[in-house]
Amino acid sequence: MCQMIVFDLLCAVGHRFEGWFGSAEDFASQKERRLLACPTCGSAAVERVPSVSRVNLGALEPKPPKKPDTPAKTPDMEGKDPFAIAQMLYSRMLDDLLTKSEDVGKEFPAEARKIYYQEVPARAIRGQATEQEHDELVDEGIPVARLPVPPGRLN
């Protein structure tokens, strides 16, 4: 029987996640060989952090499965087809993104690198990058995403 040890891990960006290892030495070896990466952003700067202690007191009474939460319909969704609802939700998400991020324009690739390599404080940014610049950022492990923005929605 193979026993595993679970460590709480934290990436340089601040995402917390679990890692399962055969031993503490296995964790150290994988970290040294840069085999560990954050599942959220891909950062290879991963550290072990203290975990909450747990005491196993035996099996608990099984609980009935919880029904998944279904998104609440709002009055502006009533009577609309799913495509129209998807467009409305995308528009809301885009509005949120545009108001909570800084537009750095064509300096996006340079700013993304500065943030990733911790040369400047982390912040939400958006801007333009060519296909080649985007691919280079991805190749470096810098988490970026393309987002189609309808004309006239950037400001």
Task: Render pLDDT for 58-107 as a digit per residue (tens, 0 to 9).
Answer: 666 667 777 666 666 667 667 777 777 777 777 777 777 778 888 888 99
pLDDT tens digits along 115-151: 888 998 888 888 888 889 988 988 888 888 887 666 6
User: What pLDDT is recorded for position 110?
Assistant: 94
Q: In Å, what is the CA distance from 17 to each residue of 14, 22, 34, 127?
A: 10, 17, 16, 29
DSSP summary character for residue 64: P
Higher local confidence (pLDDT), 52 or 81? 81
Please give the distance of CA 106 from its chain centroid, rounded to a whole number.
24
Q: Is the pTM of the predicted complex or chain greater than 0.85?
A: no
